Structure 1
Amino acid sequence: MASSYDFIIVGSGPSGSAVAAGLARASKKPRVLLLEAGGKNEDKSLRVDGQRWTTFQNKDMNWGYQTTPQENCNGRECDYSRGKGLGGSSAINFGVYSIGARDDYEEWARLVGDDFFSWPKIQQRYKALENFHGELPSTVSKKYAAPKPADHGSTGPLRVGYAAEFESDLPPMLDVFEQAGFPLNPDHNSGNPLGMSVLINSSHRGTRSTASDLLEPLPENLTVLSNSPVLRVILEGKKCVGVETDTQKYYATKEVILSAGSLNNPQILMHSGVGPADHLKEFDLPVALDVPAIGQGLRDHMFCPLAWTRTEGSTARAPFYGDEKAMADALEQWKFDGTGPWSKFACELGIGWFKIPSLTSTKEFQELPEADKRHIDAPTVPHYEIITHFPIHWFIPGFAKENLNYSCMLVFYYNAQARGTVTLQSSDPKTPLKFDPKFLGTPYDRRVAVESLRDAFRIAKSDGYTKDNVSQIVGPAGDSDEELLDYWKNTISSSWHMTGTVKMGKKGDKAAAVDSDFRLVGIEGLRVADMSVVPILASCHVQSVAYVTGVTCAEKLIKEYGLA
């Protein structure tokens, strides 16, 4: 096997696979190597759409990370899962395919001083990436989803769209939202996510789509190696010439691109001697380049659950989830043709993004920097999110079988201002870093968390919703600021949207480590392209942003090296 390639990409998640596929399919056919730390994830049964929530718990596909004890969350350690294996986190995520607010991308372009990241150009890349299936079940009105063809692509490698079947109580739930004053949005991926929508999934006909789909058919000039964890990059002075795994060295004649994610890129870089000098010295690591920004700036979205048991017959979940034979039979049907209950249950969700009118008048908002206030108040940027039909019984230990007839919502707060850290805890490159996202870490974060939960009760306490409730499964004790914040502290979870630990920025930005061409500043031949470089916390579930980041990096490399 060759040990020298034109380009080496580390990490096969959405960004890495998009970079690798883009480069390998360039007309001049450079030699490309894609290295993945985990396995091949080849078993088709790992792609059962309705089991996306349990695939997430597959230990062979998950790094199994945890946060440090969270100071503002009663010392709780929270799950900080990342996907492991071909496809990266796209192989274990919850299948939400949302692209966020057009104003997010305009802010990205402003922050890095590069129009390449503006919304019109980003939207074109999204359209080229996706093969959108906008058909709805015949029983579902277009009132709930009416995407415009001009906002979507139909020939890309990534299949996304609506579930082929809906649970019977989903359309009525959307009606309840509308009656409670939450407007419907016919397409949350138009560039304006505000309003209540039917979820667009990263799946098609009951089968999960993953980043590995971008690699098929595999170009002859692209080599993919699984079970090849990269420990460090190989530097000759201030030039990156290759990478080192636990068994071999590989060399790049042009570039190395790190796409191992917000938690693993800092690990590779620091163990290569690139990072905060004083921190590296603490662990007796040689300093090749002092880059204080690496491992700083960690951001995320967080959520908490609300759930109630419901009156008999108001959902169809108990007869399915409560019957082992029904689930087994459904799996056989899925294996046969991808249809049936496993292409319906937990595959279609209600999802919505909303503004909180009172938020911008709060003391906590007013004390933010002017640029942050402008972005949070931009027309298409939401303050929080609600998801309905979440299968919470898989996430609560000992969930009673008699509770399976239930309704669950998740409430997310957006634009967290806390900046967490990703830091060393050992000189051994195989030891994970320490992850401290600092959940609820600023006054604004605590305020938007409280107000998001309070605003969500406009639906949760509406007559149209409560008429079918029997008893509360999980929720706050009351509606005071103190009770709502205490509930967040006790139930908060990461959305696994880790962003910003090797941040992109303008020249001279001390909080940035890479420039708008994805170059790690100060090292020749080394780029970083994934969520770790994204300088905004996008208003969405960020797998889409990871894909478009990789596509954008590939475009820049193809142009720079004249590969088209």
Structure 2
Amino acid sequence: MSGAFDYIVVGAGSAGCVTAGRLVGEHGARVLLLEQGPGDSHAVIRMPAGSFKMLFAPSPFVKHYASVPQSELAGRSVSVPQGNVVGGGSSVNVMAYTRGSRLDYQRWDEALGGGSGWDWEGLLPYFRRQEGHVRLDNVAHGGSGPLKVRDPNYLAPIAGVFLKTMQRLGLPFRDDFAGGDLHGIGYIPTTIDGAKRCSAADAFLRPVQGDARLTLVCKAQVTRLLLEGSRVIGVEYAEGGKLHRATASAEVVLAAGAFATPKLLMLSGIGPADHLREHGIAVAADLPGVGQNLQDHNVTFLTAETRGNYGYYRADKGRNLVRNLLHYGLFGGGPIASNGAETMGFVNLTDPSADPDIQLYCLGVMWPGLAAEQQKPGLTLMANLVKPLSRGAVRLRSADPAEDPLVDLGWLRDTSDEDRLLRALRYLREIAATDPLASIISAPRLPDPQVTDDAGLRAFIRSSTESNYHPVGTCRMGRDGDPMAVLDARLRLRGIEGLRVFDASMMPVIPSANTNATVMAAADKGVDLMMSG
């Protein structure tokens, strides 16, 4: 599908759906939207419980990036799944709608020199106009936006037990995690419309998919950007066994994610000059920050068997599966209407009065670290490091567009991150030893309850920590004069015309909660910035 368009958007994930939807629906633009994965029509995407089927089993809708061996993790390679489908992460994630804390965006504004419009107040109008919350409509929340948000449809028994336990430990119940303050325990707000997932594709792209001005091409791999001098004029992409070229008279927007966006920039000669020359790529713009500043949330966990099934043990097997499918199909309820993790909390274990740096989850299954035959009725407590200080990087493996980039996560490279995860792991043990949760636990499984010393628990963390699937920051915004800043405050590439980045790559600092809502709001703001010059 070669041709000429007003705008080309690379990536039909959360940011790309927002961008294309607004450009076509509000601005009447001719838009080519390119997605490397397939369409999103499969029933498993619509079902909230489908997240676990897509994330933890082979799926055409998820691409797994394997990191380079991590020296801080005893040489282990870590897999980070990313959405590879129309809707991107919003079509496969656990649908958590969180925005992080007010202070996260203060740090964004500071990275841009202040007065940038990227602080909490600058982004709040975009959060509000996108959100269609079923019960909140106030200064912090929108009640009529296209992105439907609601409290959990279904609560496993473990959810109530966990909430009561955390309150006994002094964590206050919080009714709203999206108002800028995170401290507390409560229910996870979810992007669910009725009983079905509400992805970015559902909310923002679907309303314009019948518009002749939108051209959506799936299973299209963009191989390079087309430049005339220092201006991007289009893209080259492979689809259907053929190589195509398309041009944009206005601008090209990259929305392919924190791994794919810097890879495409470097393949096109935009990035660290020495690294590009190593791969025989002509340098169009020497931007040393491309691929740097990689941040992600990573977790530690505790699993235990329980005295009976308080969660989702064998909910997807045999008669249970038939019963649950019938319940969901007839009434839109039951376990299939749940994202599998209905509760969460935020704490700071070093300074309880400070902004939280640990996110807590309770799952009604024993995961990860156990083979299917070892599974029994049980639970998993998870502690997610949401203010990591460690930084990684994305680099080219070769000049071949078909090869994945080299992903160096860099977890625990800053030793204070491991210190905080150690405190969090000990806190998980304290939670498990507190009633009413303690009364339903029959046998702790991981980490080995015999391991109590710091050295043993640190070794467990290094051998088992996993991603919470929120890579960001690899093409970050920054103030003028910052040599590592890839973008300016209007999300324009420095030294390159006609090109912007709207996905999670643009974040200077990772938000201290699930990132999907922030990606969508940032893309929404990006469209306004682009259309105003």
Band of TM-score, shorter chain: over 0.9
Three-state SS of the structure 2 residue aligned to 1:325 is helix
Q: Confirm or deny that 1:544 pairs with 2:517.
A: yes
Tell me the secondary structure at the aligned position of residue 305 of structure 2.
strand
| 1:276/1:294 contact within 8 Å kept | yes
The residue correspondences of 1:478-497 to structure 2 (distance < 5 A) are: 478-497=451-470
Are the structure 2 counterparts of residues 460 and 6 from structure 1 closer, same or farther at C-alpha, using a change threshold of 3 Å? same
SS in structure 2 at match of 1:233: strand
Q: Secondary structure at the match of 2:128?
A: helix
> Match of 1:554, SS?
helix
Gaps of 5+ in 2: none
Of 420, 442, 459 in structure 2, the residue corresponding to residue 448 of structure 1 is: 420
The yes-or-no answer on 1:122 pairing with 2:114 is no
Give the C-alpha shift of residue 337 in structure 1. 4.8
Kept in 2, the 8 Å contact 1:233–1:269? The answer is yes
Which of 226, 236, 239 is the aligned partner of 1:234? Answer: 226
Aligned match of 2:148: 159
User: Which whole-Å CA distance do the structure 2 matches of 1:499 and 1:322 have between them?
Assistant: 33
Q: How big is the shift at 1:455?
A: 2.9
What residue is the counterpart of 1:88 in the other structure?
A: 88
- Quick check: 1:12–1:211 contact (8 Å CA) kept in 2? no
Runs (5+) with no aligned partner, structure 1: 135-146, 360-376
2:357 aligned residue (374, 383, 387) = 383
1:160 is displaced (CA, Å) by 1.7
Residue identity matched to 2:325: L
Is residue 394 of structure 2 the alignment partner of residue 422 of structure 1? yes
Alignment partner, residue 216 of structure 1: 206
Q: Is 1:553 aligned to residue 501 of structure 2?
A: no
Look up the equivalent residue of 1:201 and give its one-letter code.
Answer: T
Are residue 52 (structure 1) and residue 41 (structure 2) matched?
no
How far does residue 300 in structure 1 lie from its aligned partner after superposition? 0.6
Amino acid at match of 1:526: L
Instruction: Give the alignment partner of residue 440 of structure 2, picking from 465, 468, 477.
Output: 468
Matched, 1:340 2:334: yes
Structure 1's 322 and 517: CA in aligned 2 closer, same or farther, altered over 3 A?
closer
Change (3 A) 1:168 1:59: closer
| Range that drifts further, 168-177 or 532-541 | 168-177
How much does 1:391 deviate? 3.5
Q: In terms of mean alpha carbon deviation, does 508-517 or 36-45 score higher?
A: 36-45
Is structure 2 residue 429 aligned with structure 1 residue 457? Answer: yes
Matches of 1:494 and 1:203, distance apart in 2? 23
Count of paired positions: 523
Match of 2:403 among 431, 434, 441: 431
The TM-score normalised by the length of structure 1 is 0.88
What residue in structure 1 maps to residue 166 of structure 2? 177
1:148 deviates by 6.7
Q: What secondary structure sits across from 2:186 in the alignment?
A: strand
Cα offset for 1:393?
4.9
Alignment correspondent of 1:349: 342
What SS class does the counterpart of residue 66 from structure 2 fall into? Answer: coil
Q: How many Å separate the matches in 2 of 1:179 and 1:270?
A: 52
Structure 1, residues 491-524: CA drift from partner, whole Å, max 9, x if none?
A: 1001111111111100111121110100000001
Which residue of 2 is the match for residue 29 of structure 1?
Answer: 28
Say if 1:17 and 1:550, in contact at 8 Å, map to a contact too: no
Distance (whole Å) between structure 1 residues aligned to residue 14 and residue 311 of structure 2: 34
Q: Is the strand fraction higher in 1 or 2?
A: 2
Is the alpha carbon distance of 1:293 and 1:25 closer, same or farther for their aligned partners in structure 2, counting shifts above 3 Å?
same
**Alignment-mate amino acid for residue 222 of structure 2:** V
Q: 1:533 to 1:110 in 2, by over 3 A?
A: same
CA distance in 1, matches of 2:158, 2:346: 20
1:7–1:97 distance in 2 versus 1, CA, 3 Å: same
Code of the residue aligned with 2:234 in structure 1: it is G
Counterpart contact for 1:298–1:437, Cα < 8 Å: yes
* SS of structure 2 residue aligned to 1:321: coil
Letter in 2 for 1:11: G
Cα RMSD, aligned residues only:
2.0
2:233 counterpart letter in structure 1: V
1:256 aligns with 2:229: no
User: What is the deviation of 1:164?
Assistant: 2.1
Distance, in Å, in 1 between the alignment partners of 2:311 and 2:84 is: 34
CA contact (8 A) 2:96 2:514 kept: yes
Alignment of 1:74-85 (within 5 A): 74-85=74-85
TM-fit CA distance, 1:98? 1.2
Distance in 1 separating the partners of 2:215 and 2:166:
49
Among 276, 282, 290, the residue aligned to 2:278? 282
Distance apart, 1:284 and its partner CA: 0.9
Contact 1:50 1:206 in 2 (8 A): no
Spell out, residue by residue over 1:32-56, the C-alpha distance to the aligned partner (whole angstroms, 9 max, x if none): 2211111112123322112211122
CA contact (8 A) 1:390 1:410 kept: no
Describe the shift of the 1:436–1:316 C-alpha distance in structure 2 as closer, same or farther (beyond 3 A).
Answer: closer
TM superposition score normalised by structure 2: 0.93
Aligned partners of 1:349 and 1:390 also within 8 Å:
no
Quick check: 1:162–1:348 contact (8 Å CA) kept in 2? no
Deviation at 1:399, TM superposition (A): 4.0
Equivalent residue in structure 2 for 1:245, among 224, 237, 240: 237
Worse-superposed segment, 450-459 or 169-178? 450-459
Q: State the Cα deviation string for residues 509-560 of structure 1 (Å, max 9, x = none).
A: 1121110100000001011111111001101111111111111101111222
Does the CA-based 8 Å contact 2:48-2:94 persist in structure 1? no
- Cα distance change of structure 1 residues 478 and 396 upon mapping to structure 2, 3 Å threshold: closer
Q: d(CA) in 1 for partners of 2:212 and 2:531?
A: 18
Specify which of 163, 171, 178 is matched with residue 189 of structure 1.
178
- C-alpha distance after superposition, 1:159-211 (max 9, x if no partner): 12112221233223211110112221111111111110111112233312212
Q: In structure 2, what is the Cα distance between the partners aligned to 1:316 and 1:437? A: 32
Q: After superposing the two structures, state which structure 1 stretch, 13-22 or 229-238, moved more.
A: 13-22
What's the secondary structure of 1:339's corresponding residue?
A: coil
Within 2, Cα distance between the matches of 1:470 and 1:457?
14
Give the deviation of 1:239 after TM superposition. 0.6
Q: Distance in 2 between matches of 1:117 and 1:322?
A: 43
Is the alpha carbon distance of 1:347 and 1:96 closer, same or farther for their aligned partners in structure 2, counting shifts above 3 Å? Answer: same
Identity value in percent: 26
Query: In 1, distance between residues paired with 2:367 and 2:386?
Result: 25
Write the letter of the residue equivalent to 1:555: D
Q: 1:261-311, CA deviations, whole angstroms, 9 ceiling, x for partnerless residues?
A: 110011111111111111111111111111111111111110022111111
SS at match of 2:394: strand
Provide the C-alpha distance between the structure 1 equivalents of 2:451 and 2:368, rounded to a whole number of angstroms: 26
Cα distance change on mapping 1:358 and 1:216 into 2, 3 Å: closer
Aligned-pair distance for 1:151? 2.4
| Contact 1:386 1:410 (C-alpha < 8 Å) held by counterparts | yes
The secondary structure found in structure 2 opposite 1:387 is strand
User: What's the counterpart of residue 530 of structure 1?
Assistant: 503
SS at match of 1:514: coil
Per-residue deviation, 1:396: 3.1
Aligned to 1:143: none
Are the structure 2 counterparts of residues 469 and 302 from structure 1 closer, same or farther at C-alpha, using a change threshold of 3 Å?
A: same
Task: Name the amino acid aligned to 1:225.
Answer: V
